[in-house]
Every structure is written in structure tokens, then in C-alpha cells.
């Protein structure tokens, strides 16, 4: 009884929205920036920033970098997915050669950068130290850093690529410093805030945390361009204004995907592209090419006025807008917290329900293994890859999901796996089922990144399997466990295992309704 009370109390204190125990822990000597995100002088006139993502090392990437030079961008912010070759050394050399060793190139982790992250981290840290930018940045490089460069404040988050309390980090980072211009950046998306094939993998919380601070939102991942109107709530898809001029304030901002840095151009999805919150879109359908968004701040002698345009390598302009900032007008950060906003919502009598999410990772070696399909016995392997083929399946176990969520409130569930290898000559088709519960197995033919090697693959929705686990655990005090078997109908595919790098282990991302 006593034990029960303590567990219940801890659960109540922690609340339902936390990311659970990060399996992936940083070593004590991992680099951390300890500078102060401030700048000694006022922002210069016409400060220009290149905002891009998904670059690679192709000819088109070189042309995008040429554009950065031609437009005289003072610095660049890259929203993840660097070279696509898992080659951190070549990537750094590529930036050095094209933009210069001392070019201020700020970057945040993408799903293609996970396999050799420690190498990329080293490149980022070295560049920041060369520039002296480490004195203006605080936090974990490429994962949760807030910087002030030339009077522009930006917070970079690894949400969707690394477990952590990203919403809390962003809230704290943006709420601690007054600045007329703030920007948030991360790689991944919610499905509704991109126009291509991507699934929801960040939660809405990070978008709305940045909105409350009046921070612009710069993402990548989908290889197209899309920019919203001014939003007053991302989770509720609330558009505040469709005016051409954007007026940023605490509670109102815009978000874009600028994922055309060189890797390629994808199609839009007809349903998503017609969502009413898009102010501008570009994909292969309308002929946009690789390019970047360029924003110039402190224009016409007004430190709170900016102008942005998206230009592609053919020299065509795909979007143009003016931005006026009403953020932190009194020189202190506007204190609009989530709780205050929820109170306002309650006072207006609006729907208080929110979509929240949690993510759990495989937490130990024995929770992911291969077994022989014919005999159902475990295959002893020292291989770091979990391989699925006609003769063997993979079992994954996710333990201790948050117990207090009613099964009926669960909305969606996806497993993310770091894909290592895939047959390209056969139609890839996997089946994901659970040895417990009644849920039907789910066919996995979704071709995230065309089953590209060394990027994260996201399964289709596995909500029925997760719901079964919740129903089975109902009334207990131990959170449910979800067990899935991944088997192959066609072809052979392998994923990263818990060993040797626990940061690469499979994770289960669940969205639920919280009222």
C-alpha cells in the first residue's frame, strides 16, 4: 500500500508529458558550451541570415552555398541532415572549402547525422571555438544550444532525433533572454507542418513553446519549402492573420520548412498542401529547385523590421515577406507561460484538451534481439545489427510506459529505428505484430527515405498494439510494456541495436490526448 502511494505520488508529480528515462546518456567529458548568449553591440544594419536544411555534398549543394556567398549572408543556420554520407570529416572540409574555415555555420542534428554524431559534434565544437562562438552559446552542441550571434538569439533543439525535455529547454532558453529577434530550429516535423511524406515526430509542444516566445520556427527534413501564415496556436491550427506583413509577438509566430539545401526536391501531398495555414509552398510539383530562405534584419533603420525571401539556384524567388517584431518590447522576456495560456483558454471556455506525447527507448541489450522464425528460439548474436529476413525476426520490448494514461486517450504510436541496410532489388515489405494481445499485424511498406541506409525509419501507426498493452496493464501500478515482432515478407533489412551505442536504439513515440 505504502509502495503504491509513493509510486502514485511520483507519477503525479512528474506529470504525463515527460520523456522517459533517456537510455542515451552523455559521458561526463562530452563537450558543453558554457558561454553567455548575449552580444556586446547592437545588431548591425541589414544583418542577413541563410536558413537552410538537408544539404548533402552535391553540385546543387555547392550552388546553394554560392547563393549564400552571393547574397552576402553573415551567417547560416542549418536545420539538420548534413552530408548524407556519414562522413563528418569530409563535411567539415566541404563547408571550409565552399564558405571558409571561419564562416559562422551553425547546425543542429538531423536523422541522417545520428549514426556518426560524435564526429559531427566534434566538427561543430571546433568551428564554434575557432569563431569564438562558444563564448556566445550555452548548452549541448547540436542538441540543445542557445546562442546569440550578432545580436540574433536562436535556440537549437534535437527534438525527434534525441530524447530529452526539448519543450522545457526551449521555454527556458527563450524565456531567459530579452531580444527583439528569436528563432527556434530543429530538423524534424509534425506532419501538418510540412507538405510531403513526413510523419509527426516532434510533438506540438516545441512549436507552441516557441510561439509563446514569439520566436520564428525554422525546420527541415522534408525536401521542399513551406511557410505558414501567422499562427496563434500550432496544435489547434489557429491562424491569427493572413496578412502579407508578419507581426511577431509573444503568442504569435510563423514556421517554415526550408529543406532544399541540395539533397533534392520532393513532391507535395495534395491534401497537406491545401491546408489553409500555408502562405507559400514550393515542391517539385511547381518547379522549385534547391535553395535557401534569406532573412535580413534591422532594415530601413528599424531594428525591429526584417525582410525574408526564398531564392532557388535558378535565381527565382518563391516567397517574400516582411516581418515586424513586437517581441520583448520592454527589454525583458515576455512572461507568457503555458499555464497562463491554458488559464486564458479556460476563461474563454475553449477546449482545453491537448495532444501530448512521450517517447520510450529500448533500455537494455536483452530487450532487442533476433529470433529464428521456424523454431521461435533466440538467435545468439554479437552483431550490432538486428537483421530481419525470411528466416529470422526481431523482437523489441519497450518497458515502463507512463501508467496513468487511459487506453482510450491514446492517439498514435510509431517506432523509430535507425536503418542500417536494406535490399534495394526487392519490394521491401515488413510485418509488425505483437505476440500478446489481439491487434492485427501492421504491414510496413512505407518507404521513409526509400529505406535509405543509416537514417531513421519510422513505422506506420501501431496504436492498436500499444492500446492492447495499456488494456492488459489496466489497474496495475507498473506501466505497460509493449512487445513487437518485426518480420519480413519480402527482402532483408537491418537496424541498429542497443549495443554498442545506446543512443541508436529503437524508440517508441506515442501521442495521446490530455484534457
Ligand X SMILES: *[C@@H]1O[C@H](CO)[C@@H](O)[C@H](O)[C@H]1NC(C)=O
Report if residue 389 touches ligand X, rule: CB under 6 A: yes
Report if residue 391 touches ligand X, rule: CB under 6 A: yes
> Grid coordinates standing for 130?
575557432
Question: 384, 503 in Cβ contact below 8 A?
Answer: no
Report if residue 314 touches ligand X, rule: CB under 6 A: no
**Shortest separation between residue 379's beta carbon and ligand X, angstroms:** 11
Residue whose CB is less far from ligand X, 347 or 375: 375
Residue whose CB is less far from ligand X, 45 or 427: 45
Residue whose CB is less far from ligand X, 123 or 262: 262
DSSP structure class, residue 32: -
Q: What is the largest CA-CA distance in the chain?
A: 75
Total interface residues for ligand X by CB under 6 A: 6
Residue choice 45, 314, 343, 353 for contact with ligand X (CB under 6 A): 45
Question: 267, 283 in Cβ contact below 8 A?
Answer: yes
Question: 183, 217 in Cβ contact below 8 A?
Answer: yes
Report if residue 135 touches ligand X, rule: CB under 6 A: no
Residue whose CB is less far from ligand X, 71 or 338: 71
Residue whose CB is less far from ligand X, 165 or 389: 389
> Grid coordinates standing for 415?
517506432
Span interacting with ligand X, options 152-160, 174-182, 319-327, 383-391, rule CB under 6 A:
383-391
Report if residue 59 touches ligand X, rule: CB under 6 A: yes
**Shortest separation between residue 107's beta carbon and ligand X, angstroms:** 24
Report if residue 46 touches ligand X, rule: CB under 6 A: yes
Residue whose CB is less far from ligand X, 69 or 366: 69
Report if residue 344 touches ligand X, rule: CB under 6 A: no
Residue whose CB is less far from ligand X, 135 or 391: 391
Determine the distance from the C-alpha atom of residue 486 to the mean position of all C-alpha atoms in its chain, rounded to a whole number.
Answer: 25
Residue choice 101, 372, 390, 426 for contact with ligand X (CB under 6 A): 390
Residue whose CB is less far from ligand X, 300 or 330: 300
Count, in order, helices (H) and strands (E) of the chain.
Answer: 9, 29
Residues near 395 by beta carbon (within 8 Å), at least 6 away in sequence? 368, 369, 370, 371, 435, 483, 484, 485, 486
Rg (CA), the chain: 23
DSSP structure class, residue 198: P
Helix (H, G, I), strand (E, B) or coil at 127: helix
Span interacting with ligand X, options 195-203, 204-212, 388-396, 408-416, rule CB under 6 A:
388-396
Give the whole-angstrom CA distance, residue 89 versus residue 178.
37
Span interacting with ligand X, options 91-99, 287-295, 389-397, 460-468, rule CB under 6 A:
389-397
The burial of 17, by beta-carbon neighbours within 10 Å (0-12 exposed, 13-18 middle, 19 or more buried), is given as middle
**Shortest separation between residue 382's beta carbon and ligand X, angstroms:** 18
Q: What count of Cα atoms within 13 Å lies in the side-chain half-sphere of residue 325? A: 28
Beta bridge partners of 308: 295, 321
Report if residue 322 touches ligand X, rule: CB under 6 A: no
Contact set with ligand X (CB under 6 A): 45-46, 59, 389-391
Amino acid at each position: 500500500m505504502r509502495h503504491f502511494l509513493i509510486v502514485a505520488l511520483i507519477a503525479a508529480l512528474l506529470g504525463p508529458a515527460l520523456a522517459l528515462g533517456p537510455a542515451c546518456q552523455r559521458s561526463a567529458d562530452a563537450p558543453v558550451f558554457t558561454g553567455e548568449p548575449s552580444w556586446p553591440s547592437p545588431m548591425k544594419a541589414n544583418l542577413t541570415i541563410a536558413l537552410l536544411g538537408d544539404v548533402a555534398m552535391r553540385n546543387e549543394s555547392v550552388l546553394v552555398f554560392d547563393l549564400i556567398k552571393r547574397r552576402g549572408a553573415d551567417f547560416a543556420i542549418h536545420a539538420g541532415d548534413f552530408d548524407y554520407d556519414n562522413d563528418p570529416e569530409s563535411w567539415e572540409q566541404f563547408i571550409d572549402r565552399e564558405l571558409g574555415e571561419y564562416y559562422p555555420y551553425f547546425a543542429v542534428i538531423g536523422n541522417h547525422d545520428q549514426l556518426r554524431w560524435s564526429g559531427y559534434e566534434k566538427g561543430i565544437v571546433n568551428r564554434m571555438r575557432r569563431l569564438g562562438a562558444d563564448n556566445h552559446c550555452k548548452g549541448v552542441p547540436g542538441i540543445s544550444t542557445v546562442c546569440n550571434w550578432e545580436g540574433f538569439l536562436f535556440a537549437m533543439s534535437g527534438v525527434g532525433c534525441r530524447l530529452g525535455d526539448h519543450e522545457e529547454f526551449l521555454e527556458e532558453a527563450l524565456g531567459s533572454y530579452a531580444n527583439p529577434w528569436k528563432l527556434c530550429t530543429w530538423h524534424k516535423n509534425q506532419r501538418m507542418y510540412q507538405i510531403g511524406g513526413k510523419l509527426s515526430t516532434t510533438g506540438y509542444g516545441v512549436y507552441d513553446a516557441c510561439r509563446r516566445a514569439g520566436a520564428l520556427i525554422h525546420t527541415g527534413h522534408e525536401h521542399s519549402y513551406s511557410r505558414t501564415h501567422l499562427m496563434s496556436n500550432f496544435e489547434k491550427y489557429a491562424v491569427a492573420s493572413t496578412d502579407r506583413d508578419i507581426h511577431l509577438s509573444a503568442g504569435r509566430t510563423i514556421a517554415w520548412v526550408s529543406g532544399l539545401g541540395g539533397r533534392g526536391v520532393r513532391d507535395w501531398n495534395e491534401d497537406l498542401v491545401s491546408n489553409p495555414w500555408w502562405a507559400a509552398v514550393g515542391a517539385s510539383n511547381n518547379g522549385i529547385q534547391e535553395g535557401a530562405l534569406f532573412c535580413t534584419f534591422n532594415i530601413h533603420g528599424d531594428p525591429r523590421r526584417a525582410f525574408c525571401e526564398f531564392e532557388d539556384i535558378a535565381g527565382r524567388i518563391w516567397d517574400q515577406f516582411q516581418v515586424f517584431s513586437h517581441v520583448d518590447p520592454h527589454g525583458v522576456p515576455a512572461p507568457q507561460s503555458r499555464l497562463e495560456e491554458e488559464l486564458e483558454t479556460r476563461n474563454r471556455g475553449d477546449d482545453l484538451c491537448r495532444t501530448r506525447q512521450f517517447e520510450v527507448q529500448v533500455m537494455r541489450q536483452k530487450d532487442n534481439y533476433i529470433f529464428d522464425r521456424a523454431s521461435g528460439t533466440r538467435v545468439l548474436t554479437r552483431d550490432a545489427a538486428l537483421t530481419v529476413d525470411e528466416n529470422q525476426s526481431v523482437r523489441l520490448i519497450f518497458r515502463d510506459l507512463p501508467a496513468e494514461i487511459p487506453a482510450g486517450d491514446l492517439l498514435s504510436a510509431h517506432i523509430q529505428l535507425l536503418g542500417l541496410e536494406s535490399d534495394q532489388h526487392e519490394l521491401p515489405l515488413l510485418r509488425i505484430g505483437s505476440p500478446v494481445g489481439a491487434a492485427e499485424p501492421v504491414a510496413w511498406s512505407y518507404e521513409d527515405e526509400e529505406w535509405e541506409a543509416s537514417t531513421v525509419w519510422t513505422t506506420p501507426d501501431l496504436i492498436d498494439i500499444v492500446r492492447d498493452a495499456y488494456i492488459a496493464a489496466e489497474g496495475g501500478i507498473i506501466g505497460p510494456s509493449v512487445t513487437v515482432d518485426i518480420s519480413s515478407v519480402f527482402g532483408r533489412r537491418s537496424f541498429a541495436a542497443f549495443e554498442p551505442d545506446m543512443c541508436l536504439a529503437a524508440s517508441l513515440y506515442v501521442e495521446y490526448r490530455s484534457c
